[in-house]
């Protein structure tokens, strides 16, 4: 085992990696988070100033909150981008690839460094996001203490608020789970929802996306990053078109023809099953791509 | 020992850079790998270090470089002609590199840094080309690996630095090591190498110790021999 994986060598390679790409990683995460700080501050100010003049359940801040929520996902893709940039530098850049491939370290160690890069960037990003979120929320509370925050879509800013809870999909005991959540303190429930959301959507989709990106990077000889993004965007568009066609031909037509609750429930059941397959399918696809990536690293050549 | 048997390599199917290279380089020598631009000297060193994957049989120290095993990679050190310059200081870089090479010697590093007069705490990207080159050579000498491959190491160096380079390489060499220095600046290796390998487009034209050169060519002047070999292609069979 020491021959193929040595923890000291792995740590040294990770440190080398940090020296190689710290600027890229910090820049990407920094820019993304600065955008969040600005958006959050604007949101809280807007909410504090506008909400008293409007109804308590103002739809305007709710919509803004929903938009910010989806930004969280885009931010995660920025992390994927930063990690792939680092990866491209290591294995696809003519200068760095020669040096890096010749560094003492097995394929397993160099592969593990890629995974570690992602996990560190992902963890750092998520942690800083939460800190920014709760800090700006706290400032909002201090500035506008009279506002009924719980009623104005604040919870929607919680990164995973709009996502289905993991337990809802894999258990049939939804009512009991709901009761359990109601009894939990607010913060604990939020954190639970956040972690479940991560497990359900963010990690599988983000991690799977990363694998596809990295495999693409290895396939191209020049402009790896740009071409990989191109392939990914085209693939994403193709999937969207397939999904839209499916939605139009199956869901909408079917719902119009059978506009009763039972059919809608049946459709929801189909979607829930699809979600189960999505999680399992994405995990399998992601792992397959990581296996391909391992092989690519083993056979990678300098330029 | 470095052994190649029908080693071939091409960057694509239509462009073969090296064809059927057969060469044996015993340990305990400093080899000068000479040849004109574009004959494949850098490619050859990259193949030996495992960063390129060639066809045929070849081994370095009993290892197949293509496998890129960690136990093989920590015995070799390649200094490419255009090495990546990290945005970090030499001090920080050496801390990491020292963890990767079990044979790393802090003493050699300190001596090389002092001889080359390189700043430790200035970022490498802020150094001149010559200083960057010296910093990377100091680091590679300190790795103290049994196999050291230097690709055009003196490019960008001033004359005193070239002299220091020769002195450092010679002083850190012993019989257990093998150093291969690729260059087209033959003068820079004068008095340093004890074995000459001359490459041409059609393969290895000459592999000989300096002593044998004297017997075969009537001179030990590498530049003279190089010109004779490269310009006199008909003599290939005799070499």
The answer to whether the CB atoms of A104 and B78 lie below 8 A apart is no
pLDDT at A28: 80
Residue A42 has which token pair? 């604007």
Total-model pTM? 0.80
| Domain assignment present for A1 | no
User: Beta-carbon neighbour count of residue A40 at 10 Å?
Assistant: 19
Residue A148 reports pLDDT greater than 80: no
Taking only the tens of pLDDT, chain B with its 239 residues reads 899 998 889 888 778 888 888 899 999 999 999 988 888 899 999 999 999 999 999 999 999 999 999 999 999 999 998 888 888 899 999 999 999 999 999 999 999 999 999 999 999 999 999 999 999 999 999 999 999 999 999 988 889 999 999 999 999 998 999 999 998 888 888 888 889 999 988 788 888 888 888 888 877 788 888 888 877 654 444 43
Among the partner-chain residues A6, A19, A102, the one whose CB lies closest to the CB of B50 is A102
Q: How far is CA B86 from the centre of its chain?
A: 21
Spatial neighbors of B111 by CB under 8 A, at least 6 apart, are B168
Is A159 a member of any domain? yes
Give the domain extent around A31: 7-299
Chain A residues lying within 8 Å of B77, measured CB to CB: 102
Inspect the interface and report whether the beta carbons of A12 and B73 lie closer than 8 Å: no
Instruction: Decide if A104 and B70 are in contact by the 8 Å CB cutoff.
Output: yes
Split at pLDDT 50, 70, 90, the class of A259 is low
How many alpha carbons fall within 13 Å on the CB side of residue A284?
A: 6
Domains and CATH numbers, chain B: 2-237 (3.40.50.300)
Q: Which residues of chain B does A16 touch, with a Cβ-Cβ cutoff of 8 Å?
A: 96-97, 100
Rounded to 5°, angle at Cα A6 from A101 and A4:
65
pLDDT score, position A13: 93
d(Cα B135, Cα B117) in Å, to the nearest integer? 9
pLDDT for A33 beyond 90: no
Comparing CA positions, the residue from B51, B8, B38, B7 lying closest to residue B25 is B7
Distance (Å) from the alpha carbon of A115 to chain B's nearest alpha carbon: 19
pLDDT: which is higher, A81 or B196? B196
How many domains does one find in chain A?
1
Average pLDDT over residues A166-174: 46
Residue A214 has pLDDT above 80, yes or no: yes
Q: Give the mutation candidate from B45, B68, B75, B135 for the A interface (greatest A CB count, under 10 A).
A: B68
What is the side-by-side strand order in the sheet with B15-25? B15-25, B2-12, B55-60
At A141, list the tokens: 């509370």
Name the closest residue on chain A to residue B74, using Cα atoms: A104
A261 class by beta-carbon count within 10 Å (0-12 exposed, 13-18 middle, 19+ buried): exposed
Q: Which residues contact A112 (CB under 8 A, 6 or more apart)?
A: A5, A10
C-alpha to C-alpha distance for A245 and B30, rounded to whole angstroms:
69
Chain A residues with beta carbon closer than 8 angstroms to that of B71: 3
Indicate which of A19, A98, A300 best probes the interface with B, i.e. most B CBs within 10 Å of its own CB.
A98
pLDDT at B238: 41
Q: Which residues of A touch B92 (CB under 8 A)?
A: 19
The answer to whether the CB of B147 falls within 8 A of the CB of B60 is yes
Helix (H) or strand (E) holding A50: helix A7-50
For residue A17, tell me if it sits in a domain. yes
The answer as to whether A150 is a domain residue is: yes
**CA separation for the pair B183, B36 (Å, rounded):** 9
Q: What is the pLDDT of residue B151?
A: 93
Q: Is residue A2 assigned to a domain?
A: no
Q: What is the mean pLDDT of residues A157-174?
A: 45
Angle at A35 between CA A151 and CA A121, to 5 degrees: 105
Give the CA radius of gyration of chain B.
Answer: 18
Torsional sign, CA B134, B138, B139, B143: positive
| Contact across the interface for A3 and B100, Cβ inside 8 Å | no
Q: Which of B51, B87, B95 has its CB closest to that of A23? A: B87
Question: Which residues 6+ apart lie within 8 Å of A26 measured at CB?
Answer: none
In this prediction, residue A208 carries a pLDDT of: 78
Tokens for A3, please give them: 């021959």
Residue range A34-55, pLDDT digits in tens: 887 887 777 777 766 766 555 5
What integer pLDDT is reported at residue A185 of this predicted model? 47
What is the SS3 assignment for chain B?
CEEEEEEEEEEECCEEEEEEEEEEECCCEEEEEEECCCCCHHHHHHHHCCCCCCEEEEEECCECHHHCCHHHHCCEEEECCCCCCCCCEHHHHHHHHHHHCCCCCHHHHHHHHHHHCCCCCCEHHHCCHHHHHHHHHHHHHHHCCCEEEEECCCCCCCHHHHHHHHHHHHHCCCCCCEEEEEECCHHHHCCCCCEEEEEECCEEEEEEEHHHHHHHHCCCCHHHHHHHHHHCHHHHHCC
Residues of B with CB under 8 A from a CB of A: 46, 49-53, 68-71, 73-74, 76-78, 80, 82-88, 92-93, 95-97, 99-101
- Residue A229 tokens, joined: 């993004």
């Amino acid at each position: 085992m020491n021959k193929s994986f040595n923890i000291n060598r792995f740590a040294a390679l990770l440190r080398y990696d940090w020296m190689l790409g710290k600027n890229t990683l910090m820049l990407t995460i920094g820019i993304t988070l600065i955008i969040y700080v600005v958006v959050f501050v604007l949101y809280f100010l807007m909410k504090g100033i506008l909400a008293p003049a409007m109804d308590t359940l103002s739809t305007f801040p709710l919509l803004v909150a929903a938009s910010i929520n989806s930004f969280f996902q885009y931010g995660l893709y920025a992390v994927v981008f930063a990690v792939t940039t680092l990866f491209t530098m290591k294995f696809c850049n003519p200068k760095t690839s020669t040096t890096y491939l010749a560094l003492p370290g097995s394929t397993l160690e160099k592969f593990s460094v890629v995974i570690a890069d992602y996990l560190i960037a992902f963890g750092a990003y998520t942690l800083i996001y939460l800190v920014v979120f709760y800090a700006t929320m706290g400032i909002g509370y201090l500035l506008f203490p009279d506002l009924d925050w719980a009623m104005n879509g604040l919870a929607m800013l919680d990164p995973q608020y709009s996502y289905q809870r993991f337990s809802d999909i894999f258990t049939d005991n939804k009512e009991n789970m709901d009761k359990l959540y109601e009894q939990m303190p607010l913060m604990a429930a939020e954190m639970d929802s956040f972690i479940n959301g991560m497990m359900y959507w963010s990690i599988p989709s983000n991690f799977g996306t990363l694998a596809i990106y990295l495999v693409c990077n290895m396939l191209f000889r020049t402009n790896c990053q740009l071409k990989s993004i191109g392939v990914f965007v085209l693939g994403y568009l193709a999937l969207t078109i397939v999904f839209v066609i499916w939605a139009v031909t199956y869901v909408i037509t079917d719902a119009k023809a059978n506009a009763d609750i039972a059919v809608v429930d049946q459709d929801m059941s189909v979607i829930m099953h699809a979600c189960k397959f999505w999680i399992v399918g994405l995990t399998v696809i992601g792992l397959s791509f990581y296996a391909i990536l391992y092989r690519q690293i083993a056979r990678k050549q300098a330029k | 020992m470095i052994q190649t048997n029908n080693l071939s390599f091409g960057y694509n199917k239509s462009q073969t850079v090296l064809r059927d290279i057969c060469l044996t380089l015993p340990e305990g020598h400093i080899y000068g790998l000479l040849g004109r631009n574009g004959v494949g000297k850098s490619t050859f060193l990259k193949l030996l270090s495992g960063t390129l994957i060639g066809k045929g049989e070849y081994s370095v120290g009993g290892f197949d470089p293509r496998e890129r095993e960690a136990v093989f990679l920590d015995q070799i050190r390649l200094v490419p002609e255009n090495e990546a310059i990290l945005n970090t200081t030499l001090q920080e870089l050496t801390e990491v590199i020292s963890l990767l090479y079990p044979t790393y010697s802090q003493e050699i590093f300190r001596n090389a840094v002092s001889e080359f007069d390189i700043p430790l705490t200035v970022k490498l990207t802020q150094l001149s080309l010559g200083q960057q080159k010296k910093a990377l050579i100091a680091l590679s000498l300190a790795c103290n690996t049994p196999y050291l491959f230097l690709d055009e190491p003196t490019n960008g160096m001033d004359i005193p630095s070239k002299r220091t380079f020769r002195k450092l390489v010679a002083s850190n060499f012993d019989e257990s090591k093998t150093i291969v220095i690729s260059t087209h600046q033959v003068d820079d290796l004068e008095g340093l190498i004890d074995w000459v390998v001359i490459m041409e487009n059609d393969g290895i034209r000459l592999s000989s110790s300096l002593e044998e050169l004297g017997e075969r060519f009537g001179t030990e002047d590498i530049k003279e021999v190089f010109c004779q070999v490269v310009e006199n292609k008909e003599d290939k069979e005799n070499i």
